[in-house]
Chain A
Amino acid sequence: MAESAQRRVERSLFLRTLFGGSRSGATLERVAALMRDVPFAAGEVIYRQGQASHQIYFVVAGEVVLGAPGLTPWTFGPGDGFGFQDAMQEAPYARTAQAVTPVHALAFSVEDWFDVLEGHPELGRGALADHSVSVAAMIDELGLALAFPRAHPAPAAAGLDRPVGLVERMLMLSDASLLVRAGIQAVAVLAQRSRPSLLSAGTPIARAGEARAGRLWFAGRGAVELRRGTEVGHAAPGSLVGSLAILARERLDADLVAATDALVLELSEDDVLDVMDDHFDLARAVFSYMARERARLMELRARVRAKSA
């Protein structure tokens, strides 16, 4: 009994430390109650590549390495979470997780996580904010060109003289990488609230230093560039310009420019968060996107660091 009360307090302290004061204590206590302590011996395999990803883990103490053939290993220490990427994407674990040293971790079922998120939207908003800060830091380290490479030349937006109707907006948003797993109902509401802009090649959408004021931009048709000094990043059709890192920027740190004739959909961050509250499929889609984005950037960063080491 004594150990269990102490354990619970430790878990609670760990979560409150990790997630900070912006989350309600009651919410964090609920999360803490759903977690369980799991110890791993040095060298022990926590999960294997290819296994179903039902669990998310937080490292309380020790070191964990995630590896797979052909991929640069990732190392996680105290306070880091792992297993998220795959669980959020509802995909099998892409890497094998192994304890490097004796590890004390907290395990959490991914469905319990979604349960809590749905009942406590502020937790989701907080997770999104944390993610955007961490992704912004990775992008700053990598530079715009590496972080937002040109995938393939995007055709210029054609048919700029046609109305940008509801269906077209819905199609653009439903194909957007951020929203690809969202339900049509959520996409329809976002399409309704979006504001389309048709821009000729070279027209700025917004300038560096400008207050973002809660705006988000989706590259609908044509291509958009992020320009910061000599750095140039690319946003292909269907992408969220600047990725979710843009949520961490109160003021833009790069010019957003139409690289070709382009159609851009502008949405407010508040609208997206509002719709997430009511359409949990959208929240899951956003979390899945967060996981993919994070995995991509972590892999890039690991390769860059390995090269320079």
Chain B
Amino acid sequence: MTAVDSKRSPRFSLIDLRAGERGPLLIAASTLFGLVAAHSLLETARDALFLGQLAPTRLPIVYLLVAALGLGLTDLNARFIRRFGRRNALVVTLALFALGTTWFNFRPVTAGLAIGLYVWSALAGSLSVVQFWLFAGEAFTSAQSKRFFPAISAGGVLGAVVGSAMAVGLLALLPVGSLLLAACVLALGTAAVVAQTPEPEPTAPRDLSPAPALGGSARLLAEHGYVRRVAILVVSSTLAVLLLDYLFKSQAAARLPKEELGPFFARYYGALNTAALAVQLLLAGRILRRFGVATALAVLPLSLALGSAGVLLLGGSFLALLFTRGADGALRHSLHRVSAELLYLPLDPALRDRAKPLIDSVLGRSSQALGAAALLALASFDLATPRVLSASVIALSLTWVVTALMLRRPYLDLFRQSLGRGVDAAELNLDDLDLGAAETVIEALSSPDPARALAAMNLLADAKRSRLIPALILYHDREEVLLRALEVVPEARREDWVPLAQKLLDHPSERVVTAAVRALGRFGKLPQMARATGALRAFLAVERLSRAGDEHPEEDPEICRMLAGDTPDCQHARAALAGAIADRKDVAFSRLAQRLARFEEVEVADVAIAALGAMGSTADLPFLIRCLDVPRHRARVVQTLAGFGDRALDALEAALTDAALSPRIRRELPRAIGEVGGERAAKLLFDALAADLPGLVRFRALRALGRLVRNEGVKVDRPRLEAELIRNLLEALRFTALEAAFDPDAVVPDAARASQRLLAGLIADKQRQARERAFRVLQMLHKNEDLRSVYFLLQSDDKRMRANALEFIDALMLSAKDEPRALLRLVVDDLSPSERVERAEAYLQGRPRTRHAALAAMLGDLDDALATLAAYHVRAQSVAELEEEAGAVFSQRRWVPLETVPPPLVHDGGGGG
């Protein structure tokens, strides 16, 4: 039990009930109560009558009959449900149950009647139960189902207990036939209850098409792996239970006088049902929550396997058999039933409608037929002995266990699929391109639309396939295409571009000439030029100064002229200068590059920043970091810093904690660290999460870390991440407690309404942010899951999608530690703020319980915005007791102070501002 569990109020320890859910739950539970009670009575009567009239060796014949008739009814049942709806189908079935049972009551008891009654009770019972669970499956969401099914099943088990008790009581005074009448009354009463409930809204349009034929059923199994596994589970469990049931009844018939069989079964089933009720109420829900559906399903077969081993080893001991059958009785209609129903939850409703009747009825019946045939065969060879049968039960139970455990992953996968959006985002990999695709790209290069030609060039450049770009692109008539071509086409391994680039030295556009000079100069292909353009002069100047080993090129007179001039020629020269420096990669030009990086001309600054990166001198790192202050340079700076790799991390780490740097710069550092990438960067970001840094810096560190984990798969420090997860979940709960105590809907004086609205909005924001951050951390802990989808779906208006998201989270967190699992559940569950706070009491020691206390807590909050707004609200509402604290906030906090003097009024003609 977790700390939360132990401190929850009693009403939560058995059933997790929310507002408005009591009525539907009671109706569902009482329906199953009546249904199972009626069936219990009928079951007791039929077993007593059958074994009183016939030998146990006749049981397999009955099983076969039940299976054969059941198969035929399955299709009819599916069509009936589709046509008339689930509720009406159940009502009619219960009414027919009552009618048929009454008819049997008034017939003379013969062997034929005994067989007929056995078949009737088995068919009516299983049909009505299937219909009931289909009805319940649609009436409740998956989250409600998980909470309610144990309680509903408890209603069923209670029905079995009461039915058995009634059977014991009635049999003490009346003949066996009285049980039939009692069953009939219960069935009619249950039908009346069901008839009062509204038909559940279908989650998908009702499918009125004919039920799939047998071939369709086979295809269903072939196409859906999950359905196939559930089918295997049902087949192995049906066979195991059938064989055990035969073994138990045959041994009971062999050891007890006929007249004692009725009372024996009544008492035995009564004891089993009581045990089942205890399991249902006290254990089933806990086992499901703690271990999940798949593990819960393994409990019963494991018990049967162990019990049957006891029977085998003890030479067919009846006591061991009683206990084994007892385990079956205690668990099958409680824990196992609930778990089996939950297996269908992740299926799409339309698929569920097809799969459930197929598996429960068709395959269940077929398995019974198979089991019955096997029993007949064994009996005919005198092999239906306790030893053979218990060994068979062991083998089948082990198959059952393994199948159950293998359902965990597919169960989760189905929920995952139901939550997914969009397609699998596989990036384009040009290595995968075939000839056709390559032709498409190359054809696009010749497009008359310059944007398309550029797109094709960029695509090939990004894929490092620039060699596929023909040099003839340098004949293009559009400037933007030529500029880009001159960047990506020239490379040392090619010569084809050189003459075409040389022709561009006479282009009318100075920008093209500059780009051509740069490209040719980079590869030493610059010819003598008649015209000394600014670009040429810049390139030649850089060549000259670099060859001379000049350590202060920024002081060269020609360079100074280029920097100072305002003419278009000088502007082109500066752009060319930056490009030439970038290509030269001579660190002597570092100071000059820094000067160019400060120019307003974006083209110049951009290339200069890239030049600093190309030079790769760590001495430039502090300058580059300061460039993060300028928004238009940020993307380039981040890219340049990333180019330094780990060498940049020392400078970035120091900058993170440098309070002298502007907040604007510090905010950008996590992204830059993330772009550097690698394990060390991840560690820096991790450390930033826990460091004493502004909230926004820590948030950006979290985001950058998330990107690193997703894109590079860096190793995560799980304990630290789990601690961060818990921290954010607790923060979300803290704000929920604040919201609940503050009561945003409270009536306040007019003067305080505005600040009330803002404060309530800020608290809601902070809750949302804390939840979002928790999910970012959770995403890092489960990097192969799409938790972003889950996060959004938890806020969806569609209650079924919310429920599916909740179930997915539950299943995902099964292997997590208790505390984060419990906290996550508290934060994401569908609860009102006050309910959430009540359930989270153990984690909210000292929480504010009144509005006054909430305001006091906010005034003392570390967040300046929250404290300042709270102080405003205190003043607006004239809360005298908190006036001193509010004053302290205004005088001490760094957030926008209260302005006491209005700004001057500006008139036309100047003044003010």
Contact = CB atoms under 8 A, between A and B. Distances in A.
B496 interface: no
B906 interface: yes
Nearest to A20: B451
B631 A273 contact: yes
B906 A197 contact: yes
B906 A171 contact: no
A25 B899 CA distance: 47
A205 B699 CA distance: 37
Interface string A114-137: 010001001000000000000000
Contact of B898 (A15, A166, A203): A166
B706 to A, nearest CB: 9
Contacts of A278: 667, 696, 699-700
B455 interface: yes
A48 interface: no
Nearest to B788: A115
A130 to B, nearest CB: 13
Nearest to A15: B455
A164 interface: yes
Given A13-B452, A160-B902, A163-B899, A36 B423 contact: yes
Given A21-B458, A122-B635, A200-B908, A34 B761 contact: no
Given A13-B455, A25-B458, A166-B872, A198 B903 contact: yes
A166 B425 contact: no
> What size tier do the contact residues of chain A reach?
35 or more
B755 A167 contact: yes
Contact of B441 (A2, A13, A162, A184): A13
A165 to B, nearest CB: 5
Nearest to A257: B908
A12 interface: yes
B428 interface: yes
Contacts of A108: 422
Interface residues of B, number: 69
B846 interface: no
B458 A33 contact: no
Contacts of B768: 183
A114 B865 CA distance: 27
Interface string A182-217: 011100110110001111101110000000000000
Interface string A54-85: 00000000000000000000000000000000
A30 B427 contact: yes
A197 B907 CA distance: 11
A1 interface: yes
Contacts of B788: 115
Contacts of A6: 434, 436-437, 440
B449 interface: yes
Contacts of B451: 17-18, 20
A299 interface: no
A158 to B, nearest CB: 13
B747 interface: no
A171 B754 contact: yes
Contacts of A192: 895-896
Contact of A185 (B423, B765, B792): B765
A33 B903 contact: no
Interface in A21-36: 21, 25-26, 29-30, 32-36
Nearest to B664: A274
B905 interface: yes
Nearest to A196: B903
B421 A16 contact: no
Nearest to A191: B896
A171 B484 CA distance: 48
B899 A185 contact: no
A33 B421 contact: no
Interface string B422-452: 1111111000111011001100100001011
A203 B906 contact: yes
A140 interface: no
A5 B631 contact: no
Contact of B758 (A5, A162, A170): A170
B766 interface: yes
A12 B427 CA distance: 10
A13 B459 contact: yes
Contacts of A34: 422-423, 425
Contact of A198 (B433, B762, B765, B904): B904
Contact of B865 (A15, A188, A197, A199): A188
Contact of B422 (A112, A161, A163): A112
A18 B449 CA distance: 11
A109 interface: yes
B86 interface: no
Contacts of A141: none
B649 to A, nearest CB: 22
Given A1-B434, A34-B422, A171-B758, A166 B868 contact: yes
B901 interface: yes
Contact of A184 (B422, B480, B765): B765
Count chain A CB atoms within 10 A of each CB in B433, B699, B908 and give the residue with the most.
B908
B769 interface: yes
A222 to B, nearest CB: 12
Interface of B: 421-428, 432-434, 436-437, 440-441, 444, 449, 451-452, 454-456, 458-459, 461-462, 480, 484, 631, 635, 664, 667, 696, 699-700, 707, 754-755, 758, 761-762, 764-766, 768-769, 788-789, 792, 865, 868-869, 872, 876, 895-896, 898-908, 912-913
Given A192-B896, A199-B905, A274-B667, 10 more contacts: A1-B434, A9-B440, A9-B441, A30-B427, A32-B428, A171-B758, A185-B766, A197-B913, A198-B912, A273-B631
